[in-house]
Structure 1
Amino acid sequence: MNLIDGLQNAINYMEDNITEDIDYDKIAEVACSSRFYFQRIFQIICGYTIGEYIRSRRLSLAAEELYNKNVKVIDVAFKYGYNSCESFSRAFTKFHGISPSQVKSGNSNLKSFSKLSMKIVIEGGKDMNYRIEKTDEFTIIAKRARY
């Protein structure tokens, strides 16, 4: 299994178990990697830690559920792994900028953190014919503008 397939398998595992208590060792096992190596590679490639990814996904899904369904805030908090309504409210407000109860009232601007999908794009590697020529000295003039 290559690196990209391993990362995608781990992401799929996290998504499938997003409402459960996720073990980092199991994530690394799904990716066919050690925990240390996987955590470092994930952070280098994605730009955030596994914990930040899981937290952001949970809070995004929680907001969607609060907005679209008639559910209690405490039920959503427990579903997405928070031990108390207060800790969920603090994390939710920090992430979305509004409290969970404000989402239920309607007009709300929420953040969405979408699922990762790993793809690899390799460009270049094409032959190019070129010629080196010697010329006399010349001046280059350019206009610089900041937008």
Structure 2
Amino acid sequence: MIASLNRLVDLVEDDLTEELDVVSVAASLGTTEYHLRRLFSSLAGMPLSEYVRRRRMTVAAAEVVSGSGDLLGIAVRHGYGSTEAFGRAFRSVHGIGPGQARRDGGPLRTQPRLRFRLTVEGADPMDVRIVTRPAFRLAGHAARVPLVHHGVNPAIAQHVGSLPPQEHLRLKALGDTEPRGLLAVSTDLDPDRREGTELTYLHGVAVTDAAEVPDDLDLVPVEAGSWAVFRAAGPYPDTLQAVWAATATEWFPSNPWRLRPGPEVVAVVDRADDFSTATVELWLPVEAG
């Protein structure tokens, strides 16, 4: 997978002025767009689209400052149809417009070319199992919330906190299949995992087709397939977020599995009364790579 990511970076660099056909690139590398985007954003710390934009504006800035041609010509060479569109993209990266950059020489924000390397760690073995599940459903209360990479997500906390205590008991009684217990479900996520983009969050349980689901609950159908189940315990939600990061940096690069589209599910196996610590299982939909 590391080699595939470095090849992706090479292809980005080969033609920064053209839109990258990620679907075709992924197919040529023997993987999927979904997996490639997810691993890139997790390891690079930014979405692929953001990296391309930063690299494009880094190269363009050198041309602007050197005075090589008029601004319209530079804009067109970098895939923009007008100086206005180019100026907006330039300013979003560098914080100043191309005219000021040419006049004052900066300040400019440079995005170095990425190079991925696999660091051999593995001092702490990961508790993971692969399970194959038939199709099932997720039933509960859904809401659209912004993606937050670190710490507590206020929108999710407000959503779950608004439910009366008896509703949690009702949901737990409804669940009749794995993953067991009350679940935190994230689905419909942005492919690049950009912070602040919206996702659908569902607080609920897993149910079979035989379960009678009340009309006041939202339903998310889940296709049959394999799941990588990561188990961890510690401060919540920090431990969960650390495990998520470790799946990208350690587990996927060294195992013959890749992510497939589907909901990400967190099952709370055990927790402190104040939820400061918890034992959780992170369920990620996977397929053989």
TM over 0.5: yes
- Report the 3-state secondary structure (helix = DSSP H, G, I; strand = E; otherwise coil) of the residue aligned with 2:36: helix
User: In the alignment, what sits opposite 1:66?
Assistant: 64
Equivalent positions of 1:78-89 (< 5 A) are 78-89=76-87
User: In the alignment, what sits opposite 2:45?
Assistant: 47
Q: Give yes or no for contact 1:60–1:111 (8 Å, CA) kept in 2.
A: yes
Change (3 A) 1:31 1:49: farther
The one-letter code sitting in structure 2 at the alignment partner of 1:110 is L
Q: Give yes or no for contact 1:13–1:30 (8 Å, CA) kept in 2.
A: no
- Unpaired segments of 5 or more residues in structure 2? 124-289
- Unpaired segments of 5 or more residues in structure 1? 126-147
Q: TM-score, normalising length from structure 1?
A: 0.76
The one-letter code sitting in structure 1 at the alignment partner of 2:15 is N
More strand by share: 2
More helix by share: 1
Q: Give yes or no for contact 2:93–2:109 (8 Å, CA) kept in 1.
A: yes
Q: Give yes or no for contact 2:65–2:105 (8 Å, CA) kept in 1.
A: no
Q: Which runs of 4+ in 1 moved over 2 A?
A: 29-32
Q: Give yes or no for contact 1:10–1:27 (8 Å, CA) kept in 2.
A: yes
Aligned Cα RMSD in Å? 1.6
Alignment partners' CA distance in 2, 1:123 and 1:47: 19
> Sequence identity of aligned pairs in percent?
30
Q: TM-score, normalising length from structure 2?
A: 0.40
Q: Radius of gyration: which is bigger?
A: 1
The total of aligned residue pairs comes to: 123
**Shift of the alpha carbon at 1:124?**
6.3
1:75 aligns to 2:73 (yes or no): yes
Q: Give yes or no for contact 1:7–1:31 (8 Å, CA) kept in 2.
A: no
Q: Deviations over 1:38-94 (max 9, x none)?
A: 111111111211111111100111101111242111111111112221111112112
